[in-house]
Structure 1
Amino acid sequence: MERGLHHGPRPVRGAPRARIRRRRERRQGVRAKAPRSLPSRRSAPQESLGAGRDQLDHPHPDRLDDDQAQQLKAVLARCPELEQTAQHIRAFAELMNNREGRHLGQWIDRVQADDLPALHSFVNGLGQDLDAVVAGLSLRYSSGAVEGHNNKIKMLKRQMFGRANFDLLRKRVLLAA
């Protein structure tokens, strides 16, 4: 079979599907629907945003209202693996919030005792650099400020790509610091 030979109807070129649909609707006398506009950010209900940024989508289980608590309880009752996972995640959150990195080994042992492959993968990742994880969970020091500066420099670098030379980039980085 030679290249370039078409067997069957040739594809229509240069006519997007929307244009074809509009033509067909005009012929049939059907009026096209007006495109729906998305709601603006200001029209979103404010009560759904929660009190803080951490509560936008997933509020802390202790801060759920009665209806939400009942829904969570029903979902966890239907799936024992999900209940175990939730318990382990809450325990890990307590380790992080209370800076109790010294108890991480016990938490890892409890997770490995259960049959939860997703958490086993997480625990294996923690085990690859256990000393650093324990230090991160125990010490009050944070690299957040350094990470913020790195993020800002990368953003400036992306903005300046192809626009000017290194001297101008250097000036913008120093002014931003």
Structure 2
Amino acid sequence: MKTKNLLLVTSLAILLSACGGNTENKTEAKKAETENSSEADYSQMQKVSLTEYNIPAEIFIPNESKGKAMITESASGGVEIKVGDRFGIEVVPFGLSKDEFKAELDNDLVYTIEYLEEDDKSILYKKSIKDSDIAPEFHFFLETEINGDLYEVKSLSEMEFNESAAGEMLKSAKSLKGN
């Protein structure tokens, strides 16, 4: 009986120490997982070329499960991309820089602007009318360079978006790459 108990305790100790694993390996695995999660997931999107609209680039937009993509040239010489009622962006060649766009927002006399996310090339912001019952709108702006030229990518101002939709559009905008 003592032999069985000793064998059981020894086996259990080996099993528990093996399950604990190496904490260094766990740390490295966690770091790799974090790095991979920072990469954008475009699995629910499709790549579209904008070359037929005189923009030498490709961009990921929502796939057809979100609605039919409508791509048209805008009056400003850019390209508008709409997919369903939760995705609407415009790619504008020779557009504004992020700082110029922020200056325009800051001088708006109607809306109060709250910057939710910002980096050196993009902003995600909330637009609301002070002391109003009107729901806030969420939009984004991104400046990028394609073949040495400045492009702005922004949410369509005539459409209203929630924060999640604006974040998804910003993810799409960041996928814009020159051919």
- TM-score scaled by length of structure 1: 0.22
In terms of Rg, which structure is larger?
Answer: 1
Greater strand content: 2
Q: With CA pairs under 8 Å and 6+ residues apart, which has the higher RCO, 1 or 2?
A: 2
- TM-score scaled by length of structure 2: 0.22
